[in-house]
Structure 1
Amino acid sequence: MTTPNLKAEDLCPEKTGLKREMKSRHLMMISIGGTIGTGLFMGAGQVISDAGPVGAILAFIFGGLVMYLALLCLGELAVAMPVAGSFQTYALQFISPGVGFTVGWIYWINWAVCIAANFTAAGIIMAGWFPDVSIWIWCAVFAVLVAVLNLISVKVYGETEFWFAGIKVAAIIGFILAGAGLMFGLLGHEGAIGFSNYHSNEAIFPHGGWALFLTMINVVYSFQGSELVGIAAGECENPGKNVPKVIKGIVMRIILFYVLAIAVLAATIPYQEAGLLESPFAYVFGRIGIPLAKDIMSFVVLTSALSASNSALYVCSRLLWSMAKDKHAPSWLGKLNSGGVPVNGVLLTLVLSGLSLLTSEYAADTVYLWLMSSVGLTGCLIWIVIAWCQVKFRQRFIEMGGKLETLVFKTPMYPALPILSVILNICIILSLAFIEEQRIVLYTGLPVVGLIYLYYVFVHSKTEASRQNAA
């Protein structure tokens, strides 16, 4: 059935209640801040160690490409239909209610647990400065801090995240400049070290091309968070203008920051040593002679962890609010305070994030590795769903009489681009099967996804149908 003068928002109407107080600069920094985190500052050395200098650069370029494909698909959806539920709402509307239910809950669990990991990382850093204070106390302090920042208003959250992300960006730019100075003999006392690390026969793939493939889950983990722009679009001023601007700008900035930082790290640290360093960025700063280099980078990583927690709490609360509106979550999660913030969603997320108190006491290193892999797995699944939603939306929009020229932002090379996005993300997920210490994430993660979907089919959908019949 065609509808005359069909608009995209007619297919997925906006849910009312949230306030559009976020500016484009907030949106840009939220996406950058959500993506540049501990994956770069703490995980880059391991990627260089596994893939070699050239291999690491290629891995991050490829990872950036996979991210870009997902954002191009998300761009069409978020500009046409800027709703707070973003891909969860799109999945519900264009794929099936069961997929929308599953996507919403796995993404919420993923980011809520991610908050726990970031609180733990921040607590470990603070314990290094204040060894007499237990890590769990710092976790509790940071939980209160990010809760307050989120509960006041979206404007306060956006402004705070703008400055949190700004510190990370400034640190990366400073590192790139300082590392280049070391490479060309302008800083430090070692003389010009140049690109000698790239000259060896092992520089490209020291452990073979297969090792490069196996690093991709870590690389993709580093890029997770870029899709936050879709959820934040629901509270952004003039999304039709600002969202395309942010998507086009963010990709080049993120890839530029990552690739240049990795190139400098690989040039200044032999790949054989890179995976053994607790903080490769601090190591480079220290070689240049910058005083308190380790403390400076610890502060940056601390800020990074708090920034990621801040953004994750924002995303989780909006997802729960959106799902409550769709009757896929309890109705009390749809409550807003006077600042237009889903207060109960913030509090429930922090309850689950209390896992940080456990990870700080039991096998922190192993838990962190599992968390990193699970975030990478969930992120790939979400990127697959985004591409799938874009295909289904475009098909339905045309079938119902919509005109492509009315779409402000269109995914290029349709349908080849979203199909390629799906294929690449499936390949990255399958790579977990070949990584012995991370294989457990694949064996536990996919069944959890299946169980949530089955819960919707056999429990939630029937309960909801009974309520509607009773009404």
Structure 2
Amino acid sequence: MTNQQPPDTPAHDLQRNLTNRHIQLIAIGGAIGTGLFMGSGKTISLAGPSIIFVYMIIGFMLFFVMRAMGELLLSNLNYKSFIDFSADLLGPWAGYFTGWTYWFCWIITGIADVIAIAAYSQFWFPDLPQWAPALACVGVLLSLNLITVKLFGEIEFWFALIKIIAIMALVCTGLYMVFVGFQSPTGTSAQLSNLWNDAGMFPHGLMGFFAGFQIAVFAFVGIELVGTTAAEAKNPERTLPRAINSIPIRIIMFYVLALIAIMAVTPWRDVVPGKSPFVELFVLAGLPAAASIINFVVLTSAASSANSGVFSTSRMLFGLAQQGDAPKSFETLSSRKVPANGLYFSCTCLLLGAALMYVIPDLIEAFTLVTTVSAILFMFVWTLILLSYLTYRKERAPLHQASKYKMPGGRFMCWVCLTFFAFILVLLCLESDTRQALLVTPLWFVLLAVTYQTVRRKRQARVPVPATTPRQS
């Protein structure tokens, strides 16, 4: 194992062109999902003011997952992403399952984003066919990602900046309305006591509190995206810790303060589940262009998520091809050091998936199913990161001792996080729509298990069996 990056990057390797500025904003963009803008109304109606604690708990747990990932990635700079360390520490099967599951996570999340972009575009262009903005979005993102990885970082920088400005504007507007004692048309006044003066912080009891977790988890998918940028980050030993360490501050700033501002201005019972509370707050503030502005913000948020998906899926395919778990054509880099074949394949899947979703009559039901499946699969990836860390602590103790970026809480916090994910799966059984997704998801792992046996046989046929047999998957 080495902790130093070779001075000359081989021609078949990805280039380290992402700066600290790019990594920081990619991490922030990953932590602010479309679910915050679109799903917060429903989560507030389910859990009331206790939703603040829901987001804090999920953010707290995922911070430790990210710290485990950070220590593993920096223990060996030859690791391109969590595919590499899961394959190295848990066995080839883990690399196969992690890589393809993460690819699938972003494809189905990307499908939801592309559909959302088509829907948001109807706000300004109601006569435009729905397929036109979806096709245009995928085409633009493919073109931009084909140019250079630095351009991806630049696009994501500006997308994330728009989200940050929108949330900070909401927080500042909400606090100002509380400060001046704003009176709404219904006669309620903006005040912090709105958080607890209507049946307390837990108005629906523990079951209402638990119900908030089901949707809130999806708001955090993509938080691990910083781990897929490791191979293309300049000076990862400095940029990765900075990006990961700032996660708790981002959760407080972008989730907790935004929710407090919303519920201080609009009592939680008045929050409409089907509408974005961001739009409603700006409308109350008397900003006539609120609907157009927030529509633009949510559209760019969905485009940011789709952009992240296009980027990360192509890098996953690149890593899988290097391991022999995907066709070798995905390992080929363009003259600009971009995995072009992986980009083409992922974007084609996005369009095919979007086309399939158009034929489903109840789009909202389909969207709930897709996002829940996505959240379950992301939790599977997070679980494998934690299991890799536990194996690393057991088998690579000297590397852990030498690490300058140790995970706080170590093995104990790994088990706490794993228990938390198991708890979330139990909660998903409680509602019929999320229960359906939980029952469908195992089919993906059955498919992976079957295809992995084929890949394994091909690999064994190519590689002579050594005298000392390594760990078999």
Length-normalised TM-score, structure 1: 0.92
Aligned to 1:167: 162
Aligned to 2:65: 70
Counterpart pick for 1:224 among 221, 225, 230: 221
Aligned to 1:324: 321
1:359 aligns with 2:357: yes
Counterpart pick for 2:95 among 73, 90, 100: 100
Q: Secondary structure at the match of 2:241?
A: helix
Confirm or deny: 8 A CA contact 2:181 2:191 kept in the other structure. Answer: no
Aligned to 2:371: 372
By how many angstroms is 1:46 displaced? 0.8
Q: Residues 131 and 275 of structure 1: is their aligned pair in 2 closer, same or farther, counting only changes over 3 Å?
A: same
Confirm or deny: 8 A CA contact 1:122 1:302 kept in the other structure. Answer: yes
By how many angstroms is 1:315 displaced? 0.5
Confirm or deny: 8 A CA contact 1:15 1:325 kept in the other structure. Answer: no
CA-based RMSD: 2.3
The equivalences for 1:47-66 within 5 A come to 47-53=43-49, 55-66=50-61
Aligned to 2:279: 282
By how many angstroms is 1:414 displaced? 1.9
Alignment-mate amino acid for residue 107 of structure 1: Y
Aligned to 1:178: 173
Aligned to 2:387: 388
Encode CA deviations 1:372-415: one digit per residue, 9 max, x unaligned: 211211121111111111111122212xxx25442121112221
1:310 aligns with 2:300: no
Encode CA deviations 1:315-361: one digit per residue, 9 max, x unaligned: 00000000000000000011111111100111110111111233245
1:35 aligns with 2:31: yes
Q: Secondary structure at the match of 1:52?
A: helix
User: CA separation in 2, counterparts of 1:353 and 1:189?
Assistant: 43
Aligned to 2:344: 347
User: CA separation in 2, counterparts of 1:373 and 1:357?
Assistant: 20
Encode CA deviations 1:179-230: one digit per residue, 9 max, x unaligned: 1112222767779521242233523222220221232131111111111111
Q: Residues 241 and 15 of structure 1: is their aligned pair in 2 closer, same or farther, counting only changes over 3 Å?
A: farther
Q: Secondary structure at the match of 2:440?
A: helix
Alignment-mate amino acid for residue 439 of structure 1: R
1:447 aligns with 2:446: no
Q: Residues 216 and 83 of structure 1: is their aligned pair in 2 closer, same or farther, counting only changes over 3 Å?
A: farther
User: CA separation in 1, counterparts of 2:113 and 2:123?
Assistant: 16
Q: Secondary structure at the match of 1:203?
A: coil
User: CA separation in 1, counterparts of 2:88 and 2:5?
Assistant: 12
Q: Secondary structure at the match of 1:93?
A: helix
User: CA separation in 2, counterparts of 1:352 and 1:107?
Assistant: 14
The equivalences for 1:144-159 within 5 A come to 144-159=139-154
Unaligned runs of 5+ residues in structure 1 are none
By how many angstroms is 1:84 displaced? 6.4
User: CA separation in 1, counterparts of 2:300 and 2:67?
Assistant: 29
Unaligned runs of 5+ residues in structure 2 are 466-473
What is the percentage of aligned positions where both structures have the same residue?
Answer: 30
Equivalent residues, number: 459
Confirm or deny: 8 A CA contact 2:105 2:377 kept in the other structure. Answer: yes
User: CA separation in 2, counterparts of 1:150 and 1:321?
Assistant: 14
Aligned to 1:135: 130
1:81 aligns with 2:76: yes
Alignment-mate amino acid for residue 25 of structure 1: R
